[in-house]
Each structure stands twice: as C-alpha cells, then as structure tokens.
Amino acid sequence: MLRTHTCGELNISHLGETVTLCGWVQKSRDLGGTTFIDVRDRYGLTQLVLNTDTDAALRETGRGLGREFVIKVTGKVLERSNKNPKMPTGEIEIGVSEIEILNAAKIPPFMIEDETDGGEELRAKYRYLDLRRNPIRNNLMLRHKMAQEVRKYLDGRYFIEVETPVLIKSTPEGARDFVVPSRMNPGEFYALPQSPQTFKQLLMVSGFDRYFQIVKCFRDEDLRADRQPEFTQIDCEMAFITQEDILNIFEGMTRHLFKTVKGIDLQNFPRMQYADAMRLYGSDKPDIRFGMEFVELNDVVQGKGFSIFDNAELVVGINAKGCADYTRKQIDELTEWLKRPQIGITGMIYCRYNTDGTLKSSVDKFYTEDDLTNWAAAFEAGPGDLMLVLAGTADKVRKQLNELRLEMGTRLGLRDKNTFAPLWVLDFPLLEWDEETGRYHAMHHPFTSPKPEDIAMLDTAPGEVRANAYDLVINGTEIGGGSIRIHDRGLQALMFKHLGFSPEEAQKQFGFLMDAFEYGAPPHGGIAFGFDRLCSIFAGLDSIRDVIAFPKNNSGRDVMIDTPSTIAEAQMNELKIKTTL
C-alpha cells in the first residue's frame, strides 16, 4: 500500500506514530510559516501541518498544491491544540515531514463540497467529480450495504441467486424492448430483458424452489425523474407457497433492511385492498404517512340544484385540517395548480369551517348553513378545517383528488422523509382496459393468476376479475410488486386468449413456458422490488439518479462518455443493418 492508514482512522491513540496518508487536497490555509492542509479520502478527512518556515522543500511543494491534488504525505501524529469534536480525526493532526504530489489537478469545474455550485448538466458531464462529493458517495455506499443485506437475508432463507440471461427474446407485450442485432444470425435480434420473469418461472419448474437475483433490467421508454433505461430489480420467486408466505418473507426482508441499514424498527405492515386504496386515496399506491382520506359526498350534496354536483358521477373531497385560514388567494392558487393539464380539473369547491363555528363555502348560493353542517359531519370536520371538494367521473376525479391530497400533505408538512409508512396493496384487478388498443391488458403481467373464485367472470366481466397480485408501497411510492403465477397450461392459454393473442402467437412467443407447464410445474409466485427506488427512499431522495453511479439523462444519454453515438459503417455491414434516417 502507498499508505499506512486512511484519512479517517487516526485518533489520539496513534500519537507519536509515523504514518503515511494518501488522498486529495480538500483545502489549504497558509498562516505564514505554517500551512494547514485538509487531506481527504473516502474514509474521512485529516489535518496536515506543514512547518514551511524550517523546511524549504516542504514550503515549495506546499505552495504548489491546489484543490484536488493527489498527495502522499508522511509525518508524525500530533495532538491538536484546537480540537474538532465533530470529526473522528479531530483530536489529531499530522506534522508532515515529507510530501509527494502523486498527481496534479486542474481547478474543478464546480466545488467538491456537500453543497456544490455545479448545475445538473455540468455535474453530469464531470460525473467522476460529482461522485467525489460525500452525499453522492454516501448514497452509493448505502446502496452497496442494502444489496449486501438483501443477499444476507435471502441467502439465510435458502434463496439461491441465479443469473438469468441478458440477451433474450423480444416480445411485443408490455413496454418497448431494447434490441441487439445478432451478427451470427443475420436479420435476427436479441432483446434486453424488461425483467427475468419467464426465466424465474422456469427455475421454479426446474425445482430451484427459492430464487432471487439483483439484476439489471431495461425498458426503452421515454424517461422521467424516476425512470432510467436501465434499472435494477431485486427479483424473487418461490414455489409451493401462498400469497401470505410471500408477503411475510418480503415484509421481513424490508424490515430487515430498515433495521440493519437505518436502525429503524418498523411495525407490521398494514394491508389494503386495491379497491379500498382507490376509494380512499384515489391511488393504488397511497401515501399513508398521513390520513386525509377521501370522503364521498354524493348523498350529502346532490339534489340541491347545483348542477355540477348533481350531474357528477362522483363528488368527493378531503378535509385539510387546520386550513380554514387559507386566503382566497391561496385557494385560487391551489385551484390554478389543479387546472394545469397534468391534473386538469375544471373547478374546485371549498367550505371553510371557521374557528368561530360558522361555515362558509364557495357555493353558498346552493347550500344553506344546515347543508354545510351535513358536509362537515361527513368530513368529520371541526372549527379551523377546510373542506376541498371535486366532482366528475369517478376514475378521473379520484386521480385528481389524489394529486390534491398529496399536495396538501406536502404543504402541511405531513410527508416527512424520515418517516416510513409501508403498505401492502392487495387484490389488484387482473386486467385493465386500454382505450388506445381497444383491448384488455394484463395489469401486472400475463403470467399472473386470477383468483380462482373469479375465473368464471373472465368471460362475463373481465374487468372485475381480481388477481392474486400485490404491491408493496412505501410513502406513496411503489417499491415492489408481484403475484401468484399461473402454473397450468390451460389457464395460461386462456389468459393469452383474453389478452388478444391468437393460439399461434401465444405459442410462438411463450410456447417454451406453456410447454414447461406440462412437465410438472409447481404452484409458485414471486415479487420484484425496484432497487433504485428503494435506495432512493432510504437515501431520502426524490429521484433515483443519485443512487446510480452513472445515470442517463432524460434523453437516454450519458453525457460524460457521450453515448449513444454513431458506429462505423463496417460494423453495421457486419451486422447486416443500416439506419434509415
């Protein structure tokens, strides 16, 4: 090793020892005759003292040192006169006798500090410098620790990590695949996996019993803050189990992570039916760090001559507790925010429960104080509360009110990043209607089993069929989802039929799986966690970008290495492809 110690480990017990450290110059202060330098590595920061009065060579080298120079220093561990109790190495400093510049550094384009002055683009281009900053490096160390703990937990429960292939087969179902032209099989393509779904099911057919993998997956979709073209899943599957077993084992894993990584003991996770989640929160991933549940008001408000309510499929609201003092301006601003095309309400009704006990609504023309008292009763509102009400078609208005609820939760400080509220959402619908293609799509994926008691409805009311499917939600973010799978060829074929596959298409694309089901497939099910999201929640971040070492931007580009890029004509010729721009 070029060093005897790291920059984070020396303390008063090392006094008098001669040590050698390596690291980066964090900062340097010349106090005339004495120069103080903070040298940094991954493990910490150590203060160096250069007596530049007595040592000309040291003075020369010391003067040449800029920020981020890489140095190697040898010296004696001394007790500091001016101790810094905030630093693990704060009791000591190194009286430097030798200093060597291992590498010089140009002035970085932004400050390598916890709070940097670099903009997003600059930091992306110089990602290797951004990664030097403690917050980013800590995120990646957190991620490493989480992966280790996931493996420890699952290995301890007889799960085997099996690597499934990255070069697989393209299937039109689901999101868009990235494809890879095959040189050895001209005109043919591999696809990168959106998940190892079929392979993990085959491993169950093979009797692996318990499988997991922390694995890269790929989706060629337009990107958002929490989406990347490549992302990482904790992918799991078990045989001979019921849904209850999966919930227990993976709730256990999540609790294990919170305990070992964050020192947080979580209680048993509450469970909620999908239908209730939609009714009470307008979302299949409710943030239950706070209440503010939806109150349905059709019975209370209809028939009073207010046509917007009378004609609405659903009138529904929330009680923003303690917000009666919202000014007209604040309410207008909130209404404008809700009118943006992303949410798209046409109007919002409010009713203040003033602290003096009076009730005042924006629709006083139609509702008497008695009527409003009935509203308040429905909302369980009291003096000081503000009732916010939307109306429209049920699906749409619930989605809109979900946005409003989350926004009010944020404004009222009810969504603390250090509070963690996990929730299982159960009994998802098997199918969802897609307006665009005019057919049903699998809500989870085509391999999810319907609840046995609902199978009969596949022909009569496909949209009503519930699946043995479940999501794990934390703080309003879906971090995991899974299902009990179909393990019977006939049922799988029926499912494909309902998804609009001809028998030939089904056989061409998924014949290997349906064939496998005929050779002794056990009952099985599983779950997959979005590992990037899980890490970002643990790190208290909104985006997954900073738990990924080298993320892509919103155009799918890595601006640091400048990819994607053009390739040589010769390479395309070898692959027997050409571009058609």
209 counts as binding a copy of itself under rule CB under 8 A: yes
492 counts as binding a copy of itself under rule CB under 8 A: no
Q: Hey, what are 78's tokens?
A: 């001394």
d(CA 281, CA 290): 11
How far the first Cα of the chain sits from its last, in Å, is: 53
d(CA 274, CA 432): 13
Binding mask 508-547 for a copy of itself (x = CB under 8 A): ----x---xxxxxxxx------------------------
218 counts as binding a copy of itself under rule CB under 8 A: yes
Q: Which residues in 14-53 contact a copy of itself (CB under 8 A)?
A: 22-24, 40-43
Q: Which is nearer to a copy of itself, 132 or 352 (CB)?
A: 132
Q: Which is nearer to a copy of itself, 193 or 286 (CB)?
A: 193
d(CA 175, CA 318): 35
**Polymer length of the chain:** 581
Residue type, 190: Y
Count the residues of the shown chain that bind a copy of itself, applying the rule CB under 8 A.
124
Q: Which is nearer to a copy of itself, 106 or 328 (CB)?
A: 106
Q: Which is nearer to a copy of itself, 1 or 31 (CB)?
A: 1
327 counts as binding a copy of itself under rule CB under 8 A: no
Binding mask 352-391 for a copy of itself (x = CB under 8 A): ----------------------------------------
* Three-point CA angle 252, 256, 261, nearest 5°: 155
State which H helix or E strand residue 296 sits in.
Answer: strand 295-296
Cβ of residue 398: shortest distance to a copy of itself, in angstroms?
A: 32
Q: Which is nearer to a copy of itself, 146 or 359 (CB)?
A: 146
Show Cβ contacts of residue 312 under 8 Å, excluding neighbours closer than 6 positions.
298, 391, 392, 393, 397
Decide: 130 and 137 in contact? Cβ < 8 Å: no
Q: Which residues in 141-170 contact a copy of itself (CB under 8 A)?
A: 141, 143-144, 147-148, 151, 155, 160-170
State which H helix or E strand residue 160 sits in.
Answer: strand 160-161
Q: From the list 184, 356, 357, 438, which residue makes contact with a copy of itself (rule: CB under 8 A)? A: 184
Decide: 496 and 448 in contact? Cβ < 8 Å: no
Decide: 351 and 389 in contact? Cβ < 8 Å: yes
Decide: 281 and 318 in contact? Cβ < 8 Å: no
Decide: 428 and 284 in contact? Cβ < 8 Å: yes
Q: Which is nearer to a copy of itself, 398 or 445 (CB)?
A: 445
From the list 9, 21, 120, the residue with the least C-alpha distance to 75 is 21
Sole window of 67-75, 322-330, 474-482, 494-502 interacting with a copy of itself (rule: CB under 8 A): 67-75
Q: Which is nearer to a copy of itself, 36 or 126 (CB)?
A: 126
494 counts as binding a copy of itself under rule CB under 8 A: no
Q: Which residues in 82-141 contact a copy of itself (CB under 8 A)?
A: 102-106, 108, 126-129, 131-132, 137, 140-141
Sole window of 46-54, 264-272, 437-445, 552-560 interacting with a copy of itself (rule: CB under 8 A): 552-560
